[in-house]
Structure 1
C-alpha cells in the first residue's frame, strides 16, 4: 500500500501529507479552496478540490490504497455519499479522525468503552465503523495544538475561561502525525482509539502559564459555574501500538 489520499489538507492534513511523502508514499491531498491547490502541489502533494457537501464524484482522488479523513464537516448526508463512493473505489483502509468531544463531561476518566453523546459526529463514526466494504480505524483526538495553533492565543479580549477547576485534554500535532503513521505501519484496523496526552493540569494552571509565558495578562476565569470535567484516557492506544507520547508534559511545552 503505497498511495494515500488525505481528505482535508489543512492544519493537520498538509503536514501529515508531507510526512508521508518523506516516507516514500505517493500522496493525494484535497482542499475546498482553489487558491490552495498550488501550495499543495509545491509540497509534492497531488492536489484535488473535494467538498463532500457538493455530492460530486471523486474517482481519481479515491484511486488510492488508504484514505485519511481529516475534515471537520459534520454533514451526515455528505459522508453517506462519500462512503458509497469509497465502496466502489480501490480504497481498502480508512482512518477517520474524530474528536473526544463525543464524550460528555461526567466528572470521570473517559475510555473508549464509555457511552458517547448523540451527535452528527458519532453518527458519522458509526457509518464508517459498520461498513464492511473497507476497514476503518477511528481516532478521537483531544484538543489540537502546535505550530501556529497556540493555546496562549485562545480566549482573547478579556474573554473569561470556563471551568478553571476542570482538566486539560490536549494533544500536540507531532503526536497526531506519529500515531497515524503507527496505525498504518502496524496494520492496526477496525479499532477506535482516544489520543490525548497523559498530562491533565487544571485549566487554570494551564492557561495561566500559557498566557504569562507569551507576555499576555493573567487570564480571567468563570468562577461560579457548576463543576464539570472529564479526563480522556489514552491507555488503549499506548498499549495496542506500544506508543509513547512525544509531548506528554503540557506545562513544559
Structure 2
C-alpha cells in the first residue's frame, strides 16, 4: 500500500522503516527543516508539514495521495490549551476526506481513560466529564464522526524502551509514587502492533496497546537504576498516599493473534 505517516518521530520513524521493509511505499512528515534534510539524506521520503493547528509546509499535498494515513501527532499537553489538538485533527480530517483516503489509524493514548483504581478496557464508557485527557478524547470523537474512511484507534500506554528509560526520569527524586501499576509498551512492540493492524486489516476498532503484565512502578525504577547505573528515587510515598491509578487491559488485541515480545516492562531492553 501507499502509506503516509504524519509524524516521523520516536514511534513514526521506526514504523516507517519497518513498513518499508515489508514492501509498502512510505511517505512521512516532519515539522523540522533540519530533520527533513537529514531523513532525505538517509533515503526516507518525507515532506515538511505542520499543524499549528492549520496546515502548513512544503509539498505536503503528497501526503494525501495514499491508501492509508497513520496519524501520529502527540498532543502538546503542556504548551498548548486542550482545544489545540482537536483543532489539529479537524484540519487533518478535512484534508483526508477531501483526498478520499480509504483508511486511517490514529495513535491515541491510554491517558484517555480515567484513573478508576482498577481495570479499564476498550469498552469502558468515556465522556468529556470522565475522560483522563479531554484533548485525546475529542480527537478520537472527531475522527469517528461523519466520515468516508475506515478507522482504527490504537490507545498506547507509556511508550518506552530504547533511549526512554522510565527509572531515569525519577532518579534521585523524593516522594515518588511507587506502589501503583505501570501501563507501558516497548517501542518495538508498538511498531509491531501497528504493522499487525495493517497486515490483518483490523478496521473499525479501538485497541489498547499495553503490555499484559503490570508490575509496580517501584520495581521498574529500581531495576532500571540497578542495571543501568543511576540512582533510584531517594524516597517513595507511603502506600496510603498513592495517587489514583488504572490497569489497562490489552486482551482485545491479543485475541487477534498479536503476541507481545516484551510482555513485562521488567524485561524491556534499552539502547543508551
Correspondences of 1:206-225 after superposition (within 5 Å): 206-219=220-233, 220-223=235-238, 225=241
Structure 1 residue aligned with 2:79: none
Structure 2 residue aligned with 1:120: 135
Whole-angstrom CA distance in 2 between matches of 1:35 and 1:231:
39
Displacement of 1:16 in angstroms is 0.5
Whole-angstrom CA distance in 1 between matches of 2:86 and 2:225:
37
Structure 1 residue aligned with 2:90: 80
Structure 2 residue aligned with 1:129: 144
The RMSD of aligned alpha carbons is 1.7
Provide, for residues 23-74 of structure 1, a one-character-per-residue CA deviation record: whole Å limited to 9, x for no partner: 1111111011000012222333211111112523642221111000111135
User: 2:23 aligned with 1:13, yes or no?
Assistant: no
Q: Which runs of 4+ in 1 moved over 4 A?
A: none
Contact 2:89 2:143 survives alignment (8 Å): no
Most deviating of 35-44 and 222-231: 222-231
Whole-angstrom CA distance in 2 between matches of 1:81 and 1:95:
16
Structure 1 residue aligned with 2:81: none
Contact 1:143 1:169 survives alignment (8 Å): yes
- Selected match of 2:63 from 57, 61, 64: 61
Q: Across the two proteins, how many residue pairs are aligned to each other?
A: 250
Contact 2:105 2:154 survives alignment (8 Å): yes
- Selected match of 1:110 from 94, 110, 120: 120
Gaps of 5+ in 2: 76-83
Structure 1 residue aligned with 2:189: 175
User: 2:92 aligned with 1:93, yes or no?
Assistant: no
User: 2:40 aligned with 1:41, yes or no?
Assistant: yes
Gaps of 5+ in 1: none
Whole-angstrom CA distance in 2 between matches of 1:105 and 1:70:
24
Q: Give the match's secondary structure for 1:106.
A: coil
Q: TM-score, normalised by structure 1?
A: 0.93
Whole-angstrom CA distance in 2 between matches of 1:181 and 1:237:
12
